[in-house]
Each structure stands twice: as structure tokens, then as C-alpha cells.
């Protein structure tokens, strides 16, 4: 009996030894899980979709903030003479400065009263983002996010959210005086550069540029300081209207324009105000609307004309609110009536002003 037991054990031993060696070899070939970083998992072709990426911080932040090569840094001209800036579109400079063509630093054309700021272009910024996070993305602010901003921050530009390595930060861009499709591209590129700066991209260039602007003297000739702004090209009605008064801020001037006179990027504000007036009129009692129509100031365009200015819209909304309050106060003694009569529906469409 003892001999049989011994033979069975010897027969099973080789099989167990092979299995043990195979398991040991497999364990030795696989590196410990602790040595597999999130970065190596992301770069591995076998990494599953949605694998963890290196967080923003440490290596990720350092890669974003790495200095750019010299050939990626451009020169952006910034005028230091207001009189020359007013004449830039006519390719002229003021009486105290000369107009340079094919500048040796930036290859552009501008007044001699100009400083040059270092900047990184849209393409090189995009390359940096792709190097750090191939899945980076951006999206414009929603209407709710825009309306949550202070009024002074809602206009004349593009607010975006830039997401890199799972972190989202805001940025703002404007058209730098351009119009049409070029304005759209300029706003997007400017917003990406601005948002990228929040991640540290080219932050040293931004800081250097800010210091240069603060130190640059105002080279506007004394004779031009107290005079009205220099004439603008006659065929540019939008810019002429903006430069017409030195007593108002830019927003004040825009609020006195009809929507067709505004630069395209400014027209969203007008539509927001007109939509609010339309809502007020549609919510008002017919008797209130009748009184608004009866007392409408002569010479002021009606809402349905589309020719009102923002300031006229604001005055109209105030008047509607006052009349609605007076009508509500007059109706209070009649609230004890046994059966309330349903209010008649407005004769116009839901989103159309009544007149």
C-alpha cells in the first residue's frame, strides 16, 4: 500500500512542477502594476478607450509651460500714438510720425510710433495642446454663462471654455478690429491664446508684453490730444459712428445705434434687449398695450420696425412697466368679483411685438 502511494505522488509531481514554472514565468514577464503609470497606459496601443491620462500638474503642467522655440515666436505691432491708430486704415501716420511699410521686425505696415510684442500664433499653440493632450477641446460659453457675467463683460467678443487634461478654464478673444470671416478666425485664435495662458502656455511672453505696454510712453502729439478724433474713412459708417463722440464710452455710442449700423459682433446685445421688450409687450394686458400705442413718442420707431436703438428699447421697457403697474393698481378694487373673466389673447404671434 505504501509503495502505491509513493508511485502516485511521483507521477503527479512533474505535472505540478510544469504548472508552477509556467505561472512563475508569466508573473515575471508582467511588470508590477505599481510601475505602470497613467502616462504609459495612455501611450500604449493596447490601452482601452478612456484610459486615465496624466493629470494637470507635474509633467503635464510642465509640458504646457515649456518655452517655445524662437521660430515659433512672432512679433505683434502695438501702436503707441492714438492719432496714428485713427489713420492706420488709410495707410498714413500723424504729422509727428512716419508710416513704415514692410517693417523689419514684423513685416507689417504701421506707424513709426509702435512697439513689438512677442506672441505665439494659433498653429503653434494648437501643436502644443496636441502634444500634451491629443483630446483637448474647446466650446463657446452657453447663453446662460454669458448672461451670468457682469454686463460690461458680455459684449464684443467670444468667451470660451478650454479643456486640457480634464481641466476646463475660460478665455476671451476679440476680433482686433477685423470684420467678416477674418473676424471669426481672429476671435477664436485670440480666445484660445487667452485661455491657454490660464494653463501657463506662453505665460512668460504674456507677462513680458504686459510690462512692455505699461512702460511704453503715449506718443500722441499734444495737438491731437485735445482735438476731436482724426477723421475715419467716409465709407466705414460703423467706425465713423464709434469715433463721433469723445464724451461717451464705446457702449454708450453703440446703444444709440440702430442694429443695422452696429458692427456684426455687437448686434447680439441689441437682439437680447429687443427680445426682452417683446416679452414685456406680450405679457402685458391689452389695455396696457393700447395705452403704450396711444402715448408712443412721435418720431421714435416702433418695435416691429426693427429700427429702435438699445436706449430707446430701455425707455420703452420702463414705460411698459410703469403702465402695467398703474393698470394693476387700478384693478385691485375689482378683485372681489365672483368670477374672473379670462384675459383676451393677444392678436399677434407669441414672439411678435404687438405694433
What is residue 138's predicted lDDT score, i.e. its pLDDT? Answer: 96
What is residue 341's predicted lDDT score, i.e. its pLDDT? Answer: 57
Q: How is the chain split into domains, by residue range?
A: 59-215, 233-332+344-355
What is residue 352's predicted lDDT score, i.e. its pLDDT? Answer: 60
Q: Which of 223, 160, 151, 250 shows the shortest CA–CA distance to 197?
A: 160
Q: Cβ neighbours of residue 233 under 8 Å, at least 6 residues apart?
A: 89, 90, 239, 240
Contact 254, 262 (CB under 8 A): yes
One pLDDT digit (tens) per residue for the chain, 355 residues: 444 444 444 444 444 444 444 444 544 444 444 333 333 333 333 333 443 455 666 788 889 989 998 888 888 888 889 888 888 878 888 888 988 888 888 888 888 889 888 889 889 999 999 999 999 999 999 988 888 888 777 777 899 999 999 999 999 998 876 777 778 888 999 999 999 999 999 988 888 887 887 788 888 887 666 544 444 444 555 555 555 444 445 677 777 888 888 887 778 888 888 888 888 888 888 888 888 888 888 888 888 888 898 888 888 898 888 888 888 888 776 555 555 555 555 444 445 666 6
DSSP-derived letter for residue 96 is T
CA–CA separation, 341 vs 15, rounded Å? 95
Could you tell me the CA-to-CA distances from 248 to 86, 127, 177, 226, 244 in Å, in that order? 17, 42, 19, 15, 9
Amino acid at each position: 500500500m505504501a509503495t502505491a502511494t509513493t508511485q502516485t505522488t511521483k507521477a503527479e509531481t512533474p505535472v505540478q512542477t510544469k504548472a508552477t514554472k509556467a505561472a512563475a514565468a508569466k508573473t515575471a514577464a508582467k511588470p508590477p502594476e505599481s510601475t505602470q503609470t497613467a502616462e504609459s497606459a495612455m501611450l500604449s496601443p493596447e490601452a482601452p478607450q478612456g484610459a486615465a491620462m496624466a493629470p494637470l500638474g507635474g509633467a503635464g503642467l510642465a509640458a504646457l509651460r515649456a518655452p517655445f522655440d524662437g521660430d515659433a515666436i512672432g512679433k505683434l505691432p502695438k501702436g503707441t500714438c492714438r492719432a496714428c491708430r485713427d489713420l492706420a486704415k488709410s495707410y498714413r501716420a500723424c504729422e509727428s510720425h512716419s508710416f513704415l511699410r514692410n517693417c523689419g521686425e514684423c513685416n507689417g505696415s504701421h506707424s513709426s510710433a509702435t512697439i513689438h510684442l512677442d506672441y505665439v500664433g494659433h498653429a503653434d499653440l494648437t501643436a502644443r495642446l496636441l502634444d500634451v493632450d491629443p483630446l483637448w477641446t474647446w466650446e463657446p460659453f452657453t447663453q446662460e454663462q454669458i448672461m451670468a457675467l457682469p454686463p460690461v463683460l458680455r459684449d464684443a467678443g467670444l468667451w470660451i471654455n478650454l479643456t486640457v487634461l480634464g481641466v476646463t478654464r475660460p478665455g476671451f478673444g476679440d476680433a482686433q478690429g477685423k470684420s467678416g470671416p477674418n473676424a471669426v478666425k481672429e476671435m477664436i485664435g485670440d480666445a484660445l491664446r487667452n485661455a491657454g495662458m490660464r494653463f501657463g502656455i506662453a505665460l512668460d511672453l504674456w507677462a513680458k508684453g504686459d510690462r512692455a505696454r505699461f512702460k511704453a510712453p503715449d506718443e500722441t502729439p499734444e495737438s491731437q490730444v485735445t482735438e476731436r478724433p482724426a477723421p475715419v474713412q467716409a465709407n466705414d459708417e460703423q467706425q465713423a459712428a464709434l469715433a463721433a463722440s469723445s464724451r461717451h464710452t464705446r457702449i454708450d455710442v453703440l446703444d444709440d445705434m440702430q442694429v443695422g449700423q452696429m458692427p456684426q459682433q455687437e448686434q447680439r446685445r441689441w437682439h437680447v434687449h429687443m427680445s426682452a421688450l417683446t416679452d414685456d409687450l406680450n405679457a402685458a394686458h391689452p389695455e396696457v398695450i393700447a395705452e403704450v400705442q396711444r402715448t408712443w413718442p412721435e418720431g421714435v420707431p416702433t418695435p416691429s420696425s426693427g429700427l429702435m436703438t438699445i436706449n430707446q428699447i430701455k425707455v420703452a421697457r420702463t414705460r411698459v412697466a410703469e403702465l402695467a403697474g398703474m393698470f394693476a393698481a387700478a384693478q385691485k378694487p375689482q378683485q372681489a368679483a365672483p368670477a374672473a373673466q379670462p384675459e383676451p389673447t393677444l392678436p399677434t404671434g407669441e414672439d411678435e411685438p404687438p405694433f
